[in-house]
Amino acid sequence: MQERESHNEIHWAIWIGTGIIAFGIGVYGAASGADVRALFVVVMLLAAVASLAAWFMPIVAARQFAPPLAEKSKRGGDDKLALLLSLMDDDERAAFKEALKQRLLDSAAAPSDGELPYDADSLAALLHEQDSGRRLSN
C-alpha cells in the first residue's frame, strides 16, 4: 500500500510541477507577445514521458533484480544427506536412525519454554496429594 501511495505522490508532483511551468510559460507569452505553443507542447510531452517512466520503473526494476529460478535452492541439505547415507553401511544406518529417533523423542519430552510437561495423570496425582495434605492438617 505504501508503494502505491508514493507512486501517486510522484505523479502528483510531476503534474503539479508541469502546471506551474505551463502557467509560467503562459504568463511569459502574454507579457511578451511571443508564440509559446511549441514550448508548451514540449513541456507537456516531457511531463507525459516522466509520468510513464515513473509508472513503469518499478516493473522494470522488479524484473531486473529478480533472481533466476534456476539459482534458487535450499542450502543443498538433501544432497549432503544423500551422500552421507550412501557412505554408511546397514549397521551404521540403523545406528544413525536409532540416534535420530532418540534425539527426536528427547526433544519432544523436554519442553523448550521451561515449563514442566503436563499430562492428566500427574495433575490428578497432584490434586490428590493436595487433598490428602489438607485432610491431615485439619
Q: For 95-131, how does the pLDDT look when each residue is reduced to its tens digit (9 = 90+)? A: 888 888 888 887 776 656 656 555 656 667 767 776 6
pTM exceeding the 0.75 threshold for the entire prediction? no
So where are the chain's domains? 2-71, 78-137
Q: Pick the closest to residue 95 from 109, 108, 84 (CA basis).
A: 84
Residue pair 25/43 in contact (Cβ under 8 Å)? The answer is: yes
Q: Pick the closest to residue 3 from 43, 61, 48, 50 (CA basis).
A: 61
Given a cut of 60, whether residue 135 has pLDDT beyond it is no
Cα radius of gyration rounded to whole Å, the chain: 37
How far, in Å, CA of 135 to CA of 131, rounded?
6
Q: What helix, strand, coil percent values describe the chain, rounded to 5?
A: 80, 0, 20
Residues 6+ apart with CB under 8 A from 108: none
Write out the three cell numbers for 17.
Answer: 510541477
pLDDT at 1: 46
How far, in Å, CA of 79 to CA of 85, rounded?
10
Given a cut of 70, whether residue 75 has pLDDT beyond it is no
Which one has a higher pLDDT value, 104 or 66?
Answer: 104
- pLDDT tens-digit readout, 18-54: 999 999 999 999 999 888 999 999 999 999 999 888 8
What angle in degrees, to the nearest 10, is found between the helix axes of 2-32 and 37-65?
160
